[in-house]
Amino acid sequence: MNRESRSPSSRATPDQTTRRQFVRVVAGSAAIAWAAPAIVRGRNLNDRLRIALIAVGGRGAANLEAVGSEEVVALCDVFEPALDRAARQHPKARRFRDYRKLYDQAGAFDAVVVSTPEHSHAFATLPALQLGKHVYCEKPLTRNIHEARIIRQAASKASVATQMGTQIHATENYRRVVEMIRAGAIGPVSEVHVWVSRAWGRQSEDAARRNHDIVSVRERPEGSSPIPRGLDWELWLGPAADRPFHEVYFPGPKWYRWWAFGNGTMSDLGSHWIDLPFWALDLKAPLTIEAHGPEPHPELAPASMHVAYEYGPRGDQPPVRLSWYQGEDKPQTWQSGAIPRWSDGVLFVGSEGRMLLADYGKHALLPEDRFRD
C-alpha cells in the first residue's frame, strides 16, 4: 500500500500506522490491552531477563554487547548484514526485519532495547509500554516534544522499568560535579557555557573537511542511489514520509542531519552535555530561547550554531543563562583563551569561581584548581 494512501484511523493496524496517526492510536488506547509486567512479580529474581533488541547495528551493536549477560531471545534490524552479525553472537535468538512482527510475539520476551534512528524511537517504544514490557531506548527519547508526552503518558500507565540511553549520566565524574555545584563549591551559578566541536549538518565542502564531517550536503538530493544489498529501505523509513534512497541518508550517522530523521548535532550531543547543567542546577522549562546561526533550512539541521536559554530562579538559586555552541561557534571565553581550548566542555560560572568539565566528562577542574577572571 502506498504510504500516502493510508487513511487515518484510531483503530489502525501496525501496517497502517503513520506519524500522523500516532496520537490517534494512543487516543484510542482504551481498546488496547495493557498487560501487567509479570516480570517484576512473578519471575525469580535470579532468572535472566528475556530481551528483544530493535536495531542491532551501530549503537545497537554496543547495546547488544551490554545486555549479553541476559537472555537475548529476539533480534530485529532492517539491514540484513547487521542482523547476520548479531545472529552469529546469539544463534538461538529469533530474527525479525520488522519490529511490528516482533511485537506479534510479545509473549516471548520481557524487555526491549530500542536503538533505531531517532524518527522511529517513539514508534518502537510505544508498543512495548502498551504490552507491559520494560524498555531501554537510546537518546533522544523521541524526535519531538509531542511524541515525548505520549511516551511519558504510556510509561506512567504501564508501570514498568524504563531507561533512556544517556550513558554519561551514570559516570562518577558527572555525579561528582553535580554534588559540588549543589554544595556551593563555586557559589551560586548564574551562567553556563556548553560547547561541542561536532558539526553534523548543512555546510560547504570546505567546512565539512575542516569539521571532519562524514558527508557534505547542502540540499536534498534530486536523484537516488542504489539501495545497499540487504537494506529494507521502506522499513527503515518507517513513519517518515516516502523518499527515494540516497547515500546521504544511510548508513548512520548520516541521517542525523536530516530533520525527517533526526535533529542534528544538538539532539545527538546536546542530550549528553546539556544534561549536566540541567541536573546540577535543577533546570526545567526555559523562559526564553534565542538561536543564532544560518538561515533555517527545511531539510537540514545547521552544522554550526549557538543558542541561549534563560531560566528563572529556582528556590534559593538565581536566574541562569545557559549557552549552547556547536561546530565552529565557540564561547568568547574559549576564543580569547580565558578557558583551556577543550574541543568539548561545560563551564559553570559561579559567584566565587568557575568549574570546567571537559573531554566528554573525563576531566573536571575542581575548586582547588579553579581559576578566576
Tens of pLDDT along the chain (373 residues) come to 334 333 323 333 344 444 444 434 333 332 222 232 233 333 555 688 999 999 999 999 999 999 999 999 999 999 999 999 999 999 999 999 999 999 999 999 999 999 999 999 999 999 999 999 999 999 999 999 999 999 999 999 999 999 999 888 888 888 999 999 999 999 999 999 999 999 989 999 999 999 988 888 999 999 999 999 999 999 999 999 999 999 999 998 999 999 999 999 998 899 889 999 999 999 999 999 999 999 999 999 999 999 999 999 999 999 999 999 999 998 876 666 666 678 889 999 999 999 988 876 555 544 434 433 3
Residue type, 220: R
**CA atoms of 328 and 89, how far apart (whole Å):** 41
Q: What percent of the chain is helix, strand and coil (3-state, nearest 5)?
A: 35, 20, 45
Q: Which CATH superfamily is domain 169-201+263-369 in?
A: Dihydrodipicolinate Reductase; domain 2 (3.30.360.10)
**CA atoms of 17 and 309, how far apart (whole Å):** 36
pTM attached to this predicted model: 0.83
Where are the CATH 3.30.360.10 domain residues in the chain?
169-201+263-369
Q: How buried is residue 296: exposed, middle or buried, by Cβ count under 10 Å (0-12/13-18/19+)?
A: exposed
Backbone angles phi, psi at 290, to 5 degrees: -130, 120
**CA atoms of 118 and 130, how far apart (whole Å):** 20
Which ranges of the chain does DSSP label H, i.e. alpha helix? 22-27, 38-42, 59-66, 80-89, 99-103, 121-130, 145-158, 172-182, 205-210, 233-237, 264-265, 271-273, 275-281, 332-335
Exposure string of 272-287, with b = 16+ CB inside 10 Å and e = fewer, is bbbbbbebbbebeebe
The DSSP symbol for 304 reads: S
Alpha carbon 332 to its chain centroid, in Å, reads 28
Q: What is the pLDDT of residue 339?
A: 62
The answer to whether 56 touches 99, Cβ cutoff 8 Å, is: no
Fold of the CATH domain 33-165? Rossmann fold (3.40.50)
Where are the CATH 3.40.50.720 domain residues in the chain?
33-165
Three-state secondary structure call for residue 19: helix
**CA atoms of 339 and 89, how far apart (whole Å):** 46
Q: What is the pLDDT of residue 27?
A: 35
The DSSP symbol for 142 reads: S
